[in-house]
């Protein structure tokens, strides 16, 4: 139990770093502070889990692989970012196109961090890469 909790906290902190970097680069979203990025990371993790549970477990909808699966996963990631925007102060997404750009930027930055550190910095990266490969 403690190992799972520690892993979750580390993943949220790393995801907050990714969100903070993307926010500072003005790629579709903006973040006021690292605290806002940390809260946004936790909210995005919860919303992503709920959306995944609703689509996959409850409604039994899967996106499959390939280019179409990657596009659908990207759209779901953008919607998750927009939902999180409603709950976190100091974190804002610049419309749907901004959310799409931010989702791509988050996946790329998380992938780059994953090259440096032996961890998965973003579950969206795993979804997008598994859909393409």
Name the pTM for this structure: 0.76
Is residue 41 within 8 Å of 62, Cβ to Cβ?
A: no
pLDDT confidence tier of residue 132, bands split at 50, 70 and 90: very low
Identify the CA nearest to 87 among candidates 39, 48, 127, 38: 39
Q: What is the mean pLDDT of residues 107-125?
A: 69
**Per residue in 26-71, pLDDT tens?**
888 999 999 999 998 888 888 877 877 787 777 777 666 677 777 8
Rounded distance between C-alpha atoms, residue 1 and residue 108, angstroms: 31
pLDDT at 125: 46
pLDDT at 130: 44
Q: Is the pLDDT of residue 19 over 70?
A: yes
pLDDT at 15: 83
Taking the domains of the chain in order of start, what are their residue ranges? 2-132
Q: Is the pLDDT of residue 107 over 70?
A: yes
Rounded distance between C-alpha atoms, residue 19 and residue 57, angstroms: 27
Is residue 91 within 8 Å of 40, Cβ to Cβ?
A: yes
């Amino acid at each position: 139990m403690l190992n799972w909790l520690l892993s979750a906290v580390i993943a949220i902190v790393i995801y907050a770093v990714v969100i903070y970097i993307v926010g500072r680069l003005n790629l579709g979203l903006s973040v006021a502070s690292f605290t806002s990025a940390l809260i946004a990371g936790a909210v995005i993790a919860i919303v992503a889990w709920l959306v995944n549970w609703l689509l996959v477990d409850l409604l039994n909808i899967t996106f499959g692989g390939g280019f179409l699966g990657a596009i659908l996963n990207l759209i779901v990631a953008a919607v998750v970012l927009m939902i999180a925007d409603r709950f976190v102060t100091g974190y804002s997404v610049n419309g749907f196109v901004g959310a799409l750009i931010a989702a791509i930027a988050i996946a790329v930055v998380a992938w780059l961090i994953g090259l440096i550190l032996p961890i998965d910095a973003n579950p969206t990266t795993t979804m997008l890469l598994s859909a393409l490969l």
